[in-house]
Amino acid sequence: MGLGVPSVTLSQELITEGLACHFEHTVTGGKQSSLFEKLQDYDWQQSLAKMSSLLNGKDHCFNKFFLGTHPEEFPKYAGYWIGFNLVSQYIQKNKATDSDIVGLESEKFFDGLT
């Protein structure tokens, strides 16, 4: 990755962005992010399954998964939506608080899914 940003796996990227979306949701009093306006009916679990072989690799295209440069495969902001839902599901399943999820390894959010 450029700009001096360390390279991370796709699963780490999904969770990092999912946490950011979750905390935005919390700070805005539960207001849904404008990123998700067109994704409400999008099957995030099916897309996660399509990405499963790439989750532990560092060779992924951020623009493809997060910015929609390949809309025939993933819609714009799909990666953010997937990450947000992974975080939300983890919180609900584990009755976790925001402080519980800070610093968790990204793999924890995938337990029971992959």
pLDDT, tens digit (0-9, with 9 covering 90-100), for 78-107: 999 999 999 999 999 999 999 999 889 999
Residue 1 has pLDDT above 60, yes or no: no
Quote the pTM value.
0.90
Q: Could you state, in order of their start, the residue ranges of all structural domains in the chain?
A: 10-109
pLDDT tens-digit map of 23-48: 999 999 999 899 999 998 999 999 99
Residue 52 is encoded by which pair of tokens? 């499963």
Give the containing element (helix H, strand E) for 70: none
23-27: Cβ within 8 A, 24+ apart = 23/98, 25/84, 26/98
How confident is the model at residue 6, as a pLDDT? 53
**Angle between the 44-51 and 78-94 helix axes, to the nearest 10 degrees?**
110
Band of pLDDT at residue 59, cut at 50, 70 and 90: confident
Residue 12 has pLDDT above 80, yes or no: yes
Amino acid, single-letter form, for residue 100 = D
Rg of the chain over Cα atoms, rounded to whole angstroms, equals: 14
DSSP conformational letter for 113:
T
Neighbours of 47 (CB within 10 A): 19
